[in-house]
Amino acid sequence: MPDVPEFDKRGFSLEPRGRRINKPWGYEVLLTPDGAPYTAKLIAVNAGQQLSLQVHDVKVETQALVSGEAILVLEGPDGELREIEMQPGAGYHIAVGQRHRLRARTDIVVFEASTPEAGTTYRLEDDFARPHETEELRARERGG
């Protein structure tokens, strides 16, 4: 039998994860444990709603449409905002400093994988007049 490395199994888990966080436009389900080196979530947006036009100072994201009809508003290399019809199964990369927002034509679910949620999410436009999302605000919202 080949040599198999020993692992510290204290971090191993067999428990499913999913923590729902209600938002004014729908909800998110966080799938990863606190302290993981990445974040995975499902973003459910009600038909006719949109997330804030936002930009991250630290976080990098990839989003994929799971269900519904969605528009991703995304800043191009020329600084102009483009409206992109999201295609199911395609990944859309969002870089640090790139303005973006999700719009739901119908009820949608989007899968997002990203770096850990750190830094500030600057809300440039927000239908609900919420403040920028800082690490402290995020921790309070999530019960941390």
Q: What does DSSP say about strands 70-75 and 100-104: parallel, antiparallel, or unpaired?
A: antiparallel
* H/E segment holding residue 135: helix 135-141
Going residue by residue through the chain, which has 144 residues, state the pLDDT in tens, using 9 for 90 and above: 577 777 777 778 888 889 999 999 999 999 999 889 999 999 999 999 999 999 999 999 999 999 999 999 999 999 999 999 999 999 999 999 999 999 999 999 999 999 998 899 999 999 999 999 988 888 887 775
Residue with tokens 């528009």: 71
Q: In this predicted structure, what is the pLDDT of residue 55?
A: 98
What are residue 15's DSSP bridge partners? none
Specify the pTM. 0.89
- CA–CA distance, 80 with 4 (Å, rounded to integer): 52
Closest C-alpha among 26, 105, 111, 103 to residue 72: 103
Give, rounded to a whole angstrom, the gap between the first and last alpha carbons of the chain. Answer: 45
Q: Structural domains in the chain? A: 16-141 (2.60.120.10)
Residue 86, classified by CB atoms within 10 Å of its CB into exposed (0-12), middle (13-18) or buried (19+), is buried
76 φ, ψ (degrees, to nearest 5): -90, 175
Tokens of 117: 């949620």
- CA–CA distance, 134 with 91 (Å, rounded to integer): 26
